[in-house]
Structure 1
């Protein structure tokens, strides 16, 4: 006896599949039409006005122009990103800008720009970058403001800032860190699927492997580090220009958000060669920071020497810097001086998602009001 329902079920499945294909095709046409009407002038990032106030070699410090006529009496805030991306992430667009939120709160905000290293910079070391360039930037601002500053370190820039806060605590009124690795091993036994690939991958490199990779180019090319990060999420990297764009369905705001992110991702500076080798070998492979073996200018970096209030912000779905790589900082800071915020998002979402504007930016402002404010101007 034949099953008469089979043709009917087949037709239903066929019609459903065709409907899905038609819907996807229509979305693709809309997205393509939207892209056709966008030009490069529409895709601008880092538009909050600023002025260069200090320079050492290729590194500059810029001060953002105030957006609040009633500034609060807090130390100036110096933001330091790493060199595996640009600091422009903190000011992606007007409604997704950490910088604008801090300025609107009345803070005096500065940012470090590491510039564009060339082959002439391949012998720059971590000591040069941390105890040289970054320390020079901080000391300039300390002298200008007449007292210690509040540091806002991000990713690699946060690790640099942490090292200086431990070796030169007198320069810091406060230390805020975001998605910052401290323990570069973390807790691999409990990584969720997709988390910690970078940590485990580099842990399997030998020192020679790392050195040969960098020495082949002189510096660590920004294009190569971009490829490394893309390889951590292969399916998303392969489909974002097809399925990802198609899902936007021609939405103008969503398309511009997407393109601004891609503009930021494509603009990766090269990393000075010696410093890159030290970053991968001393931190990722040997975990020297938490093992008490990393030194600057001959002085061991002891994290217990950090004396200022600390705010540690991490992303709960961060596949690049696992939570277990950031939270161990709490083991070295006095509990009364340590605050942490777990953001429900990923590594980049800490800065560019709408939710982050209320969680991260406001969380930092609240922490400043609690720990850094001397007095409020009437």
Structure 2
């Protein structure tokens, strides 16, 4: 009798019917059509090749300086407008800002020769010029997230357009430190892994390779499936999970020429910090950046550590500059509303006269 009682206490009961329902629900969710994203009202105001400049009008315009968003080349920009209630753009247009987003689109093999120079001059600079014309504003605020912040910072250093504010979040600037495993980083920097040969063969970095790179850096990428299995009956959670899962699997190809520059000029030689980077023959001197500056880092960011972002504070000439370290992850910074809240609080006093 004592043995039977002990076994009952140690071995949990197993409800086969309940478990079958749970697994069926889990499998149905995974096989459902992809959810809708990009929910905030918008329309295109400019296109170039695969890229689109989207305009999101303020619900009730309060500020005369528009926000121009630059996102990473590795991922789709809809993470900034993932779902109602979890959208950076939605929160900012509701707060009275006109928002413009440069959506890079999905490059193909035919785009393999697009360089960082092209992205900065022919896309970002032209997009900012179009934003100024479309908005009628005399100045613009540039907002860069992740690698988009790196590109935005480079652009700000060579820009001829009037930039009032520069905001960058989770931005890699100083590549002397790396989130990569030590052996990987060492192999890339000393040439043991020759990225040039890979690019010569493929022309660009295929999307699945980009996804594999990020998965290898963040093993927890697979854990959401375990969480989904346990919370498959939570409709609100499932909706958020499906949108986030779509984004994490939606990495885009990276053009070969731009990736070669990123690897050789930034990662290996750290030219941006050293002041040795050139764009279309023009030296990129971050000391020429005089716009009001806000740098945001996430304390739980496993992709862009704080050490990569913080040096920007000393490299620019801005008199008005603020650094914020937030308790968040690389992506949760945007999805939890913390990023939009920080941007609004900081930039509301730096966006010109309030429109009455």
TM-score (norm 1): 0.85
SS of match in other structure, 1:201: helix
State the SS of the aligned residue for 1:94: coil
- Mapped pair 1:367 → 2:350: no
Report the equivalent of 2:165: 174
Distance 1:62 1:158, change over 3 A: same
Task: Identify which of 55, 59, 62 aligns with 1:63.
Answer: 55
* Structure 1 portions without partners, runs of 5+: 1-6, 189-195
Contact 2:26–2:229 (Cα < 8 Å) also in 1: no
TM-score normalized by the length of structure 2 = 0.90
Map of 2:42 onto structure 1: 50
- Residue 300 of structure 1: which of 283, 300, 307 is its match? 283
Aligned residue number for residue 377 of structure 1: 355
1:5-154 alignment, distance < 5 Å: 15=8, 18-19=11-12, 22=14, 29-30=21-22, 32-33=24-25, 36=28, 40=32, 43-66=35-58, 68-69=59-60, 71-144=61-134, 145-154=136-145
Q: Which has the higher helix share?
A: 1
Deviation sequence 1:107-143 (CA, Å, 0-9, x none): 0001111122111111111111112211111111123
Equivalent position of 2:246 in the other structure: 263
Task: Report if aligned partners of 2:291, 2:318 keep a CA contact under 8 Å in 1.
Answer: no
Quote the offset at 1:233 in angstroms.
2.3
User: How much is the aligned-residue C-alpha RMSD, in angstroms?
Assistant: 2.6
2:273 is matched with which residue: 279, 290, 293? 290
The superposition leaves residues 295-322 of structure 1 with CA deviations (integer Å, 9 ceiling, x where unpaired) of 1111221111101101111111111111
How far residue 198 of structure 1 moved from its aligned partner, in angstroms, is 6.1
Measured after TM superposition, the shift of residue 344 of structure 1 is 0.9
Deviation of 1:30 (Å): 3.0
* Count of residues paired in the alignment: 352
* 1:341 CA drift (Å): 1.8
Q: Would the alpha carbon gap of residues 136 and 250 (structure 1) be closer, same or farther in structure 2, given more than 3 Å must change?
A: same
Distance (whole Å) between structure 1 residues aligned to residue 29 and residue 198 of structure 2: 42
CA-CA distance at 1:31 after TM superposition:
5.9
Cα 1:49–1:347 change in 2 (3 A) is same
Runs of at least 4 residues off by over 6 Å: none
Per-residue deviation, 1:39: 7.2
